[in-house]
Amino acid sequence: MSGKMLNATISAVLSAADGLLASRVRLLLLVIIAFAAFSVFAVPAQARTWYVKPDGTGHAPTIQAGVDSAAGGDVVLLADGVFRGPGNRNIDFNGKNITVRSNNDIPGNCIIDCEGAPNIAPRRGFYFHLGESSQSVVKGITIANGYAWNGSSPAINHQGGAVHITSSDPKFENCRFINNVVQSNGSGGAVWCGDSYSSFKRCEFSGNSGGGGGGAAFLKYQSIVRFEECVFYQNSANNGGAIFTADISRSDVTDCTFYGNSAGSHGGGIYVYASSVVRITRSIIAYSTAGEGVYCNFTSGSYDIPVRNSDIFGNAGGDWLGCIADEAGMYGNFSQDPMFCDAASGNLYLHSDSPCAPGSPFNPLSVPIGAFPTACGTVASLKDGQPLLSSAVIARPNPFNRSTTISFTLPERANTRLSIYNIEGKLVTTLINGILNDGYIQTTWDGNDSHGNPVSSGVYFYRLKAGSEVLTKKMVLLK
């Protein structure tokens, strides 16, 4: 209401009232004016950041305490390190639209170790069940060693080793799900979604075990879940080594890479069941050690499983079979060795001669097929100002508990040194020290110091120096 309109209204009312009635009207008008002023000038509360550290210091002693303190729009910011114990697992957003994220958005540096085990109550990273929306975000975090044991009830206890989502739509970005387990007839080794519209972008699912179905993810009850730029590496289940989609659910798989997943029965990569749909776009499903690349089990009728510009190759149970057989060689699809740089050690970047590389005879697109670009093979001469070290310097697995393989590419011959340091900056050991030729290089650290003694769990740094350039990254040893 404008000032002129408000004054006119007041004058009209006052002119029509006298005596006691006028005083009462004046009192009422004062209340109205005060409320209008508050509505105009009140300033909404600004979002707050709640900083949490693994040692319990910061604004809150645990992640859950930070979530409990937060209001809508707030951020719970996690310091680098490993979070363990009560309050740092089974984290419940309680219906709040907040963000829980790592300080530097590097999942290898910020880890929730659920410390799960058989015969105890589930220990997972997150539990969404109160209608959280896509404004509920988890970002830049590793969730490791979750465990949901199916010997206990209710059913939720054996659904989702790392994350359980019911009737909620959270969003995960740049997260890692490592070594999470659902036993026996449970489902969703890493993630279980029921009646959910969740999304996962630039996430890695590695070494998860899904019991009866969905080594990485299990979708049910008309869920619609999007996986974008995600990696599914060596996950396993009885059906659907990586993804199991059931009960009129839909999964959209775009720019993803599947490698080395396995299914005891069917669908080493993806299992589609009971009127569900999977849309596969610009993705690689390769080298499942057991089961087909994609398997469909429709209880009645047949359904379209659209596959576009994708490479399905080398899966133990077959590639273009059943529900996707008529799409082989169509819509930009093909079946060729993707030519990863070093898949056995977890490096799923593409060789420069890969058929999935942009502009190859099989891929006319200007973007790569799969989650990663080219990072090894023929390398052009360096141009002025071009960095010698590629950003694709990777330690895998990370976190690790025995050994990890560090890989990188040198575009030209260089004096190279690769060393490991502890969190105090002290040298632990040196893995490489000498002149290396150009090309793809990898080496393994076994978790020992330079004297052969095992080091303790914690955060370590691997420092690569090539020529005059230096690149340092973090990794975490878990024992």
Burial readout 330-353 (b: 16 or more C-beta within 10 A, e: otherwise): eebbbbbebbbbbbebbbbbbbbe
Eight-class DSSP state of 326? G
Largest CA distance in the chain: 100
Flag whether 243 is in a domain. yes
Flag whether 29 is in a domain. yes
Whether residues 113 and 142 share a domain: the answer is: yes
Against a cut of 0.85, is the pTM above it?
Answer: no
Whether residues 265 and 315 share a domain: the answer is: yes
Cβ-proximal residues to 309 (8 Å cutoff; 6+ apart), any chain: 281, 282, 331, 332, 333, 363, 365, 369
Average pLDDT over residues 305-318: 96
Cα gap 323→333, rounded to integer Å: 14
Cα gap 95→392, rounded to integer Å: 38
**pLDDT number for residue 298:** 81
Whether residues 73 and 99 share a domain: the answer is: yes
Three-state SS letters, 224-277: EEEEECCEEECCEEEECCCEEECCCCEEEEECCEEECCEEEEECCCEEEECCCE
Average pLDDT over residues 31-39: 45
Whether residues 127 and 257 share a domain: the answer is: yes
Average pLDDT over residues 25-37: 46
Q: Which residue(s) pair with 373 in the sheet?
A: none
Kindly indicate the confidence band of residue 94, based on its pLDDT and cuts at 50, 70 and 90.
very high
Whether residues 159 and 180 share a domain: the answer is: yes
Answer whether residue 39 shows pLDDT above 50: no
Flag whether 256 is in a domain. yes
**pLDDT number for residue 142:** 94
Flag whether 369 is in a domain. no
Whether residues 26 and 80 share a domain: the answer is: no
User: What are 447-460's pLDDT values in tens digits?
Assistant: 999 888 899 988 89
Flag whether 368 is in a domain. no
Answer whether residue 12 shows pLDDT above 60: no
Taking the alpha carbons at both ends of the chain, their separation in whole angstroms is 66
Whether residues 310 and 453 share a domain: the answer is: no
Flag whether 450 is in a domain. yes
> In which domain, by residue range, is 75 found?
49-335
Whether residues 135 and 35 share a domain: the answer is: no
Best CA proximity match to 140, nearest among 63, 79, 188 = 79
Whether cis (ω within 30° of 0) applies to the bond prior to 170 is no
Whether residues 19 and 65 share a domain: the answer is: no
How many structural domains compose the chain? 3
Whether residues 124 and 236 share a domain: the answer is: yes
Instruction: Give me the count of residues in the chain.
Output: 479
Flag whether 352 is in a domain. no
